[in-house]
Amino acid sequence: MVSYIDILYIQRYFFGKKILMIPYDKREGKIWYNNSLENWQDIKLHVLSHGLHYGSCVFEGLRVYDEEIFKLEEHTDRLFHSAKRMDIKIPYSKDEINNASKKIVSVQKVQNGYVRPFVWRGSEMMAVSAQNTKIHVAIATWEWGTYFDQKLKLEGIKLNISKWKRPAPDTIPWDTKASGLYMICTLSKHEAERQGYSDSLMLDHQGNVAEATGANIFFKDKNNDLHTPIPDSFLDGITRRTVIEIAKSKNINVHERKISPNELSGFEGCFLTGTAAEVTPVSKIADHNYKVCEIILDLSKSYEKLVRKKKGCLIFIIFRNCVIYPFS
């Protein structure tokens, strides 16, 4: 059965309109919470939880394609790496987290969506030190479409350049998905949206190109070579690595190197990669314009082919009814 949430998702996906979504705390179903399936709206988080006040929380974001979680093991490995870097011991094994992720996707009947496992310190202590706090783990999943507006994604999105920079690697646990690291990403994203952009390009502490607020970045030169920043102060994305593998399989040269903002005008194409962003063309960064090149579209199609094992489906909405027609 297609829920009202699904219909909202489908409308946004196909018509590219901004619509009101049901708040996440008002949705229905189950959430895997500390090794138990709990009712979605019954989940409680105490206001004095350490993770809420001090940022002692790590998480992952995974995609579900055709009822299967893409790169589940890699994401779980990174979740445990992030937790270890944050001095958090997850009270479950990797296999238990993998199985729990699969279970909640099955219970929620998610076909194409998003999975969010997260780990945080509880409310036993309220101070900088949190040695004796309980470690909580939850996994939620829901149907989800594209991160960026579908029409903009086809035309190429526009980025500004953020005033915020990725911190030096000796000042933060930079190679983790820790919640506190996203504070300046939110500030950058809000600033970009207020200026009419879809996202923001962030530089690193040395002033070189780093990443977007939630995605890695690539550039294409006149020789059809790809250039992407070295992830030495920001997350080396799983989608980033996947796209590099796809590019190399097509005999496309990929240069991982320091990229100065002065080089932006010399590239012909640009795109973002990420679990949420997938492969998204960029048409503009500040005053620099880029073409949605054939090589970028081809990489996007190849990525789509990799993640989808089954036939796709084209969905039409007729008032309150939803009819699904398969296509090859």
**Residues with catalytic roles:** 177
The single residue listed with the structure tokens 């055709």 is 66
Contact 62, 114 (CB under 8 A): yes
> Do the strands 199-203 and 157-165 form a parallel or antiparallel pair, or are they unpaired?
parallel
CA distance 218 to 173: 23
DSSP letter, residue 180: G
Give ∠ CA 28-31-34 in degrees, rounded to 5.
155
CA distance 250 to 226: 12
Question: Exposed, middle or buried: residue 210 (CB in 10 Å: 0-12, 13-18, 19+)?
Answer: buried
CA distance 125 to 127: 6
> Do the strands 30-33 and 37-39 form a parallel or antiparallel pair, or are they unpaired?
antiparallel
